[in-house]
A and B are shown apart, each in its own frame.
Chain A
């Protein structure tokens, strides 16, 4: 029983066959992603409660965000999900050069997302919209002054949710870099490519989080006049 496993390259000795090993890896990754779902879920719950509590503040706050930049990042992430899926596809076909190529493309798109996010954050700090130190003072002459603290709650939610998401993007970039090195060294074959496949699940999960963040944060106040 024990020796048959050693003849299959890439098969760990405690699995019966490659199919069982692949399935165990997939389920393990999904259980991790479901804990992540609950992790982000707490923030989505906070969003829902505060949005119902302060509907006007959320409209005004959402209007402060740039829909073109948020939309650009949405497109960047969807394209990066496609390139990641293609990297997984070519790893299953055993085409090493294309695996490396699509992983590099995915990493570059992830970095584009983070650069755009950096400029968005920078603009918020410059306009005193970071909800902690240096947050703008309410202007009593302005109609929106009554929403000042509500907008602040929205911006806390915005920074917490996009910040946690950006942290996952940074970790994802590290994972991609590791995969690129492993793929370049020829660690993956038609038979053994679970690391690419499982990292793909993580990358797509982070994309899904953004699919919800974009309408909830950026588009909520898209159609209303600005309050500032």
Chain B
């Protein structure tokens, strides 16, 4: 702690590079979504869409939000928070998936 007194300033060229990467990934996700990938494999569309979104979110978190340069304590808190989000999502979906009769048709 004591020696780490100078705050890290991210150079502008890093911001520009991340921005360009975000734009390219946006173009990729739109281009890929225009193809019926489920003809190849059912969940392929959503897998590609979520993978691109996770990459974009990671770039924003690491560079725009400076987490790559943050203290270890901050990083641990963020990873713990994301872990609990995954518990919320995966455990609930596992509960649904393990019940018979789901998915159920909606009454018209």
Q: What residues make up the interface of A, taking CB atoms closer than 8 Å to B?
A: 17-20, 22-23, 26-27, 30-31, 33-34, 37-38, 41-42, 44-45, 48-49, 52-54, 57, 67, 71, 74-75, 78-79, 81-82, 84-86, 89, 92-93, 146, 148-150, 153, 197, 200-201, 204-205, 207-208, 211-212, 214-216, 219-220, 222-224
- With A and B bound together, what is the CA distance between A49 and B46 in angstroms? 14
- Beyond A45-B88, A204-B60, whether A53 also contacts B103 by CB under 8 A is yes
Q: B49 and A219: CB pair below 8 A?
A: yes
Write out the residue numbers on chain A whose beta carbons fall within 8 Å of the beta carbon of B35. Answer: 223
Report which residue of A17, A18, A41, A150 has the largest number of chain B beta carbons within 10 angstroms of its beta carbon.
Answer: A41
Q: A27 and B103: CB pair below 8 A?
A: no
Write out the residue numbers on chain B whose beta carbons fall within 8 Å of the beta carbon of A220. Answer: 33, 45-46, 49
Q: What residues make up the interface of B, taking CB atoms closer than 8 Å to A?
A: 1, 4-5, 7, 9-10, 12, 15-16, 19, 22-23, 26, 29-30, 33-36, 45-46, 49-50, 52-53, 56-57, 60-61, 63-66, 70-71, 73-74, 77-78, 81-82, 84-85, 88-89, 92-93, 96, 102-104, 106-108
- Beyond A19-B4, A93-B9, whether A219 also contacts B92 by CB under 8 A is no
Identify 27 residue pairs between A and B in the complex whose beta-carbon atoms are under 8 Å apart, listed by A's number: A18-B7, A22-B7, A27-B77, A38-B88, A41-B88, A42-B88, A49-B92, A52-B102, A54-B106, A79-B19, A81-B19, A81-B22, A82-B19, A84-B64, A85-B10, A85-B64, A86-B12, A149-B108, A204-B61, A207-B60, A215-B29, A215-B50, A215-B52, A219-B30, A219-B49, A220-B46, A223-B35
